[in-house]
Amino acid sequence: MSPDTANTPDLLPENLISSVTDLKVYFQSKQGMVHSVDGVSFDIVDGEMMGLVGETGCGKSVTARSFMQLIQTPPGVLAGGKIQFKSQKNCRKCEGAKCDFCSNTGKQILDLLSLSENEIRELRGERIAMIFQDPGKALNPGLTIRTQLAEVFQEHRENDVLEKAGLANNLNGINSYLLKKYIRQETNLISKIVLKFPPFRGLLKKVDKAINGLVTKALAETQIPNPNKIMERYPHELSGGMKQRVMIAQAIACNPDLLIADEPTTALDVTVQARVLDLIKDLQKRHKTSVLYISHDLSLVRRICDKVAVMYAGKIVETGDAETIFNDPKHPYTKGLIKALPSMTHERGKLEAIEGMVPELINPKLGCRFASRCKQKKSNCENNDPELKVVSNKDKSHKVSCFLYE
- Identity of the residue, 135 or 329, whose beta carbon is nearer to other proteins in the bound complex: 135
The bridge status of strand 315-321 relative to strand 307-312 is: antiparallel
Cα–Cα distance between 262 and 52 in angstroms, integer?
9
Candidate segments 105-113, 125-133, 160-168, 271-279, binder of other proteins by CB under 8 A: 125-133
Residue 37, interface with other proteins (CB under 8 A)? no
- Identity of the residue, 217 or 378, whose beta carbon is nearer to other proteins in the bound complex: 217
Cα–Cα distance between 83 and 72 in angstroms, integer?
17
Cα–Cα distance between 249 and 230 in angstroms, integer?
13
- Identity of the residue, 267 or 322, whose beta carbon is nearer to other proteins in the bound complex: 267
Q: Which amino acid is at 326?
A: F
Find the binder of other proteins among 1, 7, 141, 349 (CB under 8 A): 141
Q: Which helix (H) or strand (E) holds 152?
A: helix 145-156
Find the binder of other proteins among 143, 195, 220, 404 (CB under 8 A): 143
Cα–Cα distance between 353 and 334 in angstroms, integer?
12
List the interface residues with other proteins, window 216-235 (CB under 8 A). Answer: 234-235
Residue 197: Cβ-neighbour burial (10 angstroms; 0-12, 13-18, 19+)? exposed
Find the binder of other proteins among 24, 121, 281, 339 (CB under 8 A): 121
Residue 63, interface with other proteins (CB under 8 A)? no
Distance of CA 170 to the CA centre of its chain: 39
List the interface residues with other proteins, window 360-399 (CB under 8 A). Answer: 360
List the interface residues with other proteins, window 169-188 (CB under 8 A). Answer: 185-186
Cα–Cα distance between 107 and 138 in angstroms, integer?
33
DSSP single-letter state for residue 124? B
Cα–Cα distance between 364 and 278 in angstroms, integer?
40
Distance of CA 236 to the CA centre of its chain: 25
Find the binder of other proteins among 45, 70, 94, 274 (CB under 8 A): 70
Write down the least CB distance from residue 85 to other proteins, Å.
15
- Identity of the residue, 24 or 339, whose beta carbon is nearer to other proteins in the bound complex: 24
Cα–Cα distance between 362 and 251 in angstroms, integer?
35
Candidate segments 74-82, 88-96, 303-311, 363-371, binder of other proteins by CB under 8 A: 74-82
Residue 314, interface with other proteins (CB under 8 A)? no
Find the binder of other proteins among 122, 158, 160, 297 (CB under 8 A): 122
Cβ-based neighbours of 103, under 8 Å, separated by 6 or more:
9, 10, 11, 12, 13, 14, 109
List the interface residues with other proteins, window 320-359 (CB under 8 A). Answer: none
User: Contact 336/352 with Cβ under 8 angstroms?
Assistant: yes
Interface with other proteins: number of residues (CB under 8 A): 48
Q: If you count them, how many residues does the chain have? A: 406
Candidate segments 65-73, 157-165, 218-226, 270-278, binder of other proteins by CB under 8 A: 65-73
Q: Which amino acid is at 242?
A: M
Write down the least CB distance from residue 138 to other proteins, Å.
4
Using CB under 8 A, list all residues that contact other proteins. Answer: 27, 29-31, 34, 36, 57, 62, 65, 68, 70-72, 74-76, 117, 121-126, 129-130, 132-134, 136-143, 151-152, 155-156, 185-186, 234-236, 247, 250, 360
